[in-house]
Structure 1
Amino acid sequence: MLTIRQQQILDFIRNFQAAQGVVPSIVEIQRHFKFRSPTTVTEHLNALEKKGAIQRRPRQARNIRILNMVDSLQSAISIPILGSIPAGMSEKPEGLPENSIAFDKTLLSVTQNSRLFGLDVRGDSMVGVGILDGDIVILEQGPEPRNGDIVAALIDGETTLKRYRIAEGHPVLQSENPAYLDLIPVRELMVQGIYRALIRVSGGKRRAN
């Protein structure tokens, strides 16, 4: 499974190639993401190549080739979008199916029988990990959360998207924005889904990120 940053870089390469007719250089990727060093770009590209997302031809400029662009169409699955979820202060969940979105299942580290669903993000409490207001998060229903997982959770009757932590033997929901306090359940905490992927909405169109 690609990390959020790896997916962002892959998406930038794809969009750049579609607009310019060539893939971006390492310097252009560095400038776009404001990395301090081109070495950081190289490390991300190495990871993308190891995961089979790209291929690079040695000793060539602009040597990135995105793999599986045709295969991804054949491996697309339909994921239902079940409403929105706050990434900020908790509020009542909407909980009603709205529509669905196609997603390449090869980008997800899930089994064939995994139960996946999407939620529109509302709020800015998860900006520290690149989850922004208006994004769509893809979640898996069923698995037990592990310490550090990003989860959609029902806490004391309200839903929210946060990082799941165990502190002194008790579950805590943490934001990725210092403006928000941790959420500690008073009565109940039920994890509804584990974060698996992100769809970024740009210019009214949804794109994998």
Structure 2
Amino acid sequence: MLSYLHKLEAAGAPPPCFREICVELGYQSTNAAKKLINRLRDAGDVTFQPGRARTLKLAKTPETGVPLLGSIAAGFPDNQDVGRIERLQFNPLNFGIRNPTDAFALRVRGDSMTGRQFFDGDLVLLDRSAKPKNQDVVAALIDQECTLKTLVVRNGKAWLKAENPAYPDIIPAHDLQIQGVAKAVIRILAA
């Protein structure tokens, strides 16, 4: 039944009436369809308004976990577009992020942060509401390009430092915006 409702919703079709549910499921009685819908409602899978036609809807369950928004250069900054959004199923509160909606994750690309133990392929968990401090690892937008680096603040001036001597410091020509402060690195070990 739920797959039928998903199919209708994806096609932009109106919700089915009880007779259409009977036809779809091979029921003889609309009473059987009503009982099924009531069970789905009690389970939290659907909502509807009794006594009104075509109000059946799939229940929208809140998304959980942390969105994985793509990748970030840990090398020279780039402006790579964000790909499809996945969600990592863990609680950001366990990593010191006070508001779960401020948490996001990015996959590390490159080797400029190996001195701080961020390696190519790692996932970095970031907090967009944390106030960045000197020596924090940050996801930054510098002159319209994204990168993962250590924030350095001296005498009121801020720049980004790589944690690999093969890479230079990055001093903003125009603009430096901190997108998030790193709270954790997640490394998947090969079996």
Cα pair 1:81 1:98 within 8 Å, conserved:
yes
1:168 is displaced (CA, Å) by 3.1
**Which residue identity lines up with residue 80 of structure 1 in the other structure?**
P
Extract unaligned runs of 5+ from structure 1.
Answer: 1-76, 205-209
Cα offset, 1:144, TM superposition: 2.4
Q: Which residue in the other structure is 1:128 paired with?
A: 115
1:85 positional shift: 0.1
Structure 1 runs of 4+ with >4 Å offset: none
Residues 151 and 192, structure 1, Cα contact 8 Å, conserved in 2: yes
- Cα separation, 2, equivalents of 1:81 and 1:117: 6
The match for 1:188 among 172, 175, 182 is 175
Counterpart pick for 1:159 among 146, 160, 164? 146
What is aligned with 2:130? 143
User: 2:94 is matched with which residue: 87, 99, 107?
Assistant: 107
Question: 1: distance between equivalents of 2:77 and 2:99?
Answer: 32
Cα-Cα RMSD: 1.7
**Would the aligned equivalents of 2:161 and 2:168 in 1 still touch at CA under 8 Å?**
yes
Aligned-partner SS, 2:188 = strand
The structure with the larger Rg is: 2
Instruction: Within 5 Å, give how 1:11-90 maps onto structure 2.
Output: 78-90=65-77
User: What is the rounded CA distance, in whole Å, between the counterparts of 1:113 and 1:122 in structure 2?
Assistant: 25
Distance 1:156 1:105, change over 3 A: closer
Q: CA deviation at 1:106?
A: 5.1
Q: C-alpha distance in 2, partners of 1:98/1:203?
A: 24
Aligned residues, how many? 128
After superposition, give the CA deviation of every residue in 1:113-134 in whole Å (9 maximum; x if it has no partner): 5510000000001101111000
* Matched-pair contact (CA < 8 Å) for 1:80–1:97: no
Separation of aligned partners in 1, 2:84 and 2:139: 16
TM-score (norm 2): 0.62
Report the equivalent of 2:187: 200
Contact map agreement 1:114 1:141 (CA 8 A) in 2: no
Deviations 1:34-69 (A, max 9, x none): xxxxxxxxxxxxxxxxxxxxxxxxxxxxxxxxxxxx
1:91 and 1:114 map into 2 onto residues whose CA distance is 25
Identity %: 40
> Partners of 2:144 and 2:92 in 1: how far apart?
32
Length-normalised TM-score, structure 1: 0.57
Instruction: State how far apart, in whole Å, the 2-side matches of 1:97 and 1:197 are.
Output: 22
